[in-house]
Amino acid sequence: MNPFRYGKTVPLEFQCPQPALERTLLGHLRSGQNVLMQGDRRMGKSSFLTHALAPKFGRRVYKVDFSAVKSVDAIVRKMIWALEQFENSANLLNRARKGASRATPAISVGGLSLSFDPARPLAAARIEEVLTALGEGGRRHPILCIFDEFQDILRLPPNDAEAVLAQMRSVIQHQTDVPYIFAGSNRNRMHGIFNHPASPFFKSAATVEFGPIPIEAFTAWITARFSDGGRKLPAPIAARIFEATQRVSGDVQQLCSALWNVSSARETLGDAHLDAAIDLILGEESKTNELIWAELSERQASCLQVLAANPLLPPAGADFARLSGIHSASTVTRSLDSMTDRGLLFKQEGRYSFFTPFFRMWVHRKLDLPPVPQLPEPHTYEPDSADPARAEEPAASYLTGSRQRTRSLRGGRPIRSPLG
């Protein structure tokens, strides 16, 4: 059986252990400290929280995933429905049901499943009732609360987002016996919620960074899994895997899974296997990628092409605009921002990266671009005017992050373009 799994939350047996992170988190939780946990997409946050941390903490978990929420109503429903995940939670549900039913007379209750009249949206005020009921239940059966993709609350119109956060905060701040973990993958938005003085959550949680798994431990883990299946993974091939994937856990496992599929027991893995594994992934993803490509405007496609060949080139600089044949840097950043909004790119400290390394490789191969220069380790990009205080500087509004966006687009350290 292929020992690698990707694309969703994975159980403990598919996770490289992270004892240091566990110790840090458990220390915070045991002292009743709420935690802000931020890390990039596919790093393994949800898997770690659900399958590694929560069982060690030994409490029942109340988990709400706020990804892609579009309305206050959706948030309140998600929070109420999450109560279903509890074992022995009949009492809790009764309390929550009472609160919800006052807002939605058409509520139908049967067993543990709750349904609401879609014509009657639930208001932010219900959040207080849900969390209060939860807190009361927590006094009898200790609870750990995990709010995943918490930053997506900021996708709501600013007034709605503020109302939701204010409601949450008004209860959470008094729940000294219920630890909360707020996990998120969008640094700007999470930073805004927890570090902007105007935010109800200002400085309300200890920050824990969910970075890549330490390379020695990750290397030993994948090597052992290949070895259990009779395959030898030499260190240089392991290094190439991590270089290609930037140690993003989900991408590492996707590449390892493909490597497993193109090899057999008693083989020593080499460059040819790795190339075949990448071919396999690009082949599997090509249909989807072609569809994505077909929907791009000419301008977007040329920006993507320049980015694929020049990942270190500052996007707001004149070189980027010249290479992409676009007259102004602001047009380039608008194109890149729109692809970020569509989830094709992500943006960190003014730099854009492809959402997955395999999409970048696909663009590269499709367009027959020159070789990509080696990428830096994640999080090592230094803006030109390195100012340690800058990261702490509040945006004009934590709800829109407007100042942060403008500032973060200032140039970075110039590099020579391989195309120029």
Ligand X SMILES: Nc1ncnc2c1ncn2[C@@H]1O[C@H](COP(=O)(O)OP(=O)(O)OP(=O)(O)O)[C@@H](O)[C@H]1O
Residue 249: contacted member of Mg ion, ligand X, none (CB under 5 to 8 Å, by partner type): ligand X
189 forms part of the interface with ligand X (CB under 6 A): no
Report the residue from 3, 22, 41, 240 that binds ligand X according to the rule CB under 6 A. 41
Segment 247-286, which members bind Mg ion (CB under 5 A)? none
* Residue 70, token pair as written in the block: 């579009």
Segment 204-233, which members bind ligand X (CB under 6 A)? 213
Report the residue from 46, 245, 302, 404 that binds ligand X according to the rule CB under 6 A. 46
CA distance 151 to 44: 17
Segment 48-107, which members bind ligand X (CB under 6 A)? 48
Cβ at position 44, least distance to Mg ion in Å? 8
Cβ at position 45, least distance to Mg ion in Å? 5
Residue 263: contacted member of Mg ion, ligand X, none (CB under 5 to 8 Å, by partner type): none
Residue 42: contacted member of Mg ion, ligand X, none (CB under 5 to 8 Å, by partner type): ligand X
Closer of 46 and 335 to Mg ion (Cβ)? 46
Cβ at position 222, least distance to ligand X in Å? 8
Residue 355: contacted member of Mg ion, ligand X, none (CB under 5 to 8 Å, by partner type): none
Cβ at position 16, least distance to Mg ion in Å? 17
Closer of 221 and 381 to ligand X (Cβ)? 221
250 forms part of the interface with ligand X (CB under 6 A): yes
CA 302-304-306 angle, 5° bins: 70
Range in contact with ligand X (rule: CB under 6 A) among 7-15, 78-86, 174-182, 386-394 = 7-15
42 forms part of the interface with ligand X (CB under 6 A): yes
9 forms part of the interface with ligand X (CB under 6 A): yes
Closest residue by Cα to residue 39 from 161, 208, 244, 160: 208
* Residue 68, token pair as written in the block: 């892609």
Cβ at position 215, least distance to ligand X in Å? 12
Range in contact with ligand X (rule: CB under 6 A) among 42-50, 97-105, 138-146, 167-175 = 42-50
CA distance 273 to 256: 10
The identity of residue 21, as a single letter, is L
Cβ at position 70, least distance to ligand X in Å? 18
Segment 19-58, which members bind Mg ion (CB under 5 A)? 46
Cβ at position 6, least distance to ligand X in Å? 4
8 forms part of the interface with ligand X (CB under 6 A): yes
Q: Which residues bind ligand X (CB under 6 A)?
A: 5-10, 15-16, 18, 39, 41-48, 185, 213, 249-250, 253
Q: Which residues bind Mg ion (CB under 5 A)?
A: 46
